[in-house]
Copies of this chain bind each other. A is one copy, B any other.
Amino acid sequence: MSAGFSSQPNAAATAEEEAYRHIQQALRLGRYKAGERLIPEDIAAEIGMSRMPVREAFRRLASDGLVVLRPNRGCIVAGLTLDELYEAFEMRSVLEGLAVRLAVPRIDEDMLDELERLLARMERAGQSGSSDWVVRHQEFHGRIYALSGRPKLIHQISALHVVIEPYMRIWFDYVDKPLSAREEHAALIAALRSGDARHAEQVMQEHILGTAPLLADFATPSRR
């Protein structure tokens, strides 16, 4: 299962796990460009193992939609077309909307405070121009979804975040700071505070769908 919000600092139990994390991290940071071919032997050498565990990691990454595997033709970095980027955001909107709806009844004052804190931290990271913002942003969202108490849902959302992360980074690097972001996230907290689950779901859906076109402008004419 793919890692996501839950940054597991634990040592990898197997070589396959190590390879998986290594490659996923590189993909998230945009170290490999879309369309680029990943050669198992090279990566294996890079992290000191044979190509077998790397091959297995490829399978998982392919299931996550991060790479494409074609028989006898190796592994290439997936990347998203514009349509696929929108699609990912559409899926996010309903899944994260659901997660918020389920989270609302479980939220308490402490958690709202915590979210305010995370928002402030995200804000700081944003102003310093650090690309840490992307991580903080995921952390903020992730904290809300965790409250839903739905492991598979969280996992799925997290996987979508990983897929779009490279594009979030590019976007963030170009437009210094998402101006609307602060207000939108504050509005999100307000919606949570209201206790109206359906309303919070609605706000989240709109927040996510509103982000897609902003990103799309910077998602370079992508492959495939």
What residues make up the interface of A, taking CB atoms closer than 8 Å to B?
A: 1-2, 13-14, 16-17, 55-56, 59-60, 62-65, 71-72, 84, 87-88, 90-91, 93-95, 97-98, 102, 150-153, 156
Contact = CB atoms under 8 A, between A and B. Distances in A.
Contacts of A56: 55-56, 59
A99 to B, nearest CB: 10
A152 B63 contact: no
Contact of A14 (B2, B16, B71, B88): B71
Copies of this chain present in the complex amount to 2
Contacts of A55: 56
A150 B87 contact: yes
Which of A17, A91, A102 lies at the interface centre, i.e. has the most chain B CB atoms within 10 A of its CB?
A91
Contact of A152 (B1, B17, B84): B84
Given A63-B64, A64-B63, A65-B152, A90 B84 contact: no
Nearest to A93: B98
Contacts of A150: 87, 90
A152 B64 contact: no
A19 B97 CA distance: 37
Contact of A98 (B90, B151, B152): B90
Nearest to A14: B71
A5 to B, nearest CB: 17
Contact of A60 (B2, B63, B71): B63
Given A13-B71, A56-B59, A59-B56, A152 B87 contact: yes
A155 B17 CA distance: 25
A155 to B, nearest CB: 9
Contact of A94 (B16, B17, B71, B97): B97
7 contacts: A16-B59, A63-B63, A63-B64, A91-B98, A91-B156, A94-B95, A95-B95
A1 B59 contact: no
Contacts of A88: 152
Nearest to A154: B87
A118 B97 CA distance: 32
Contact of A87 (B62, B93, B97, B153): B153
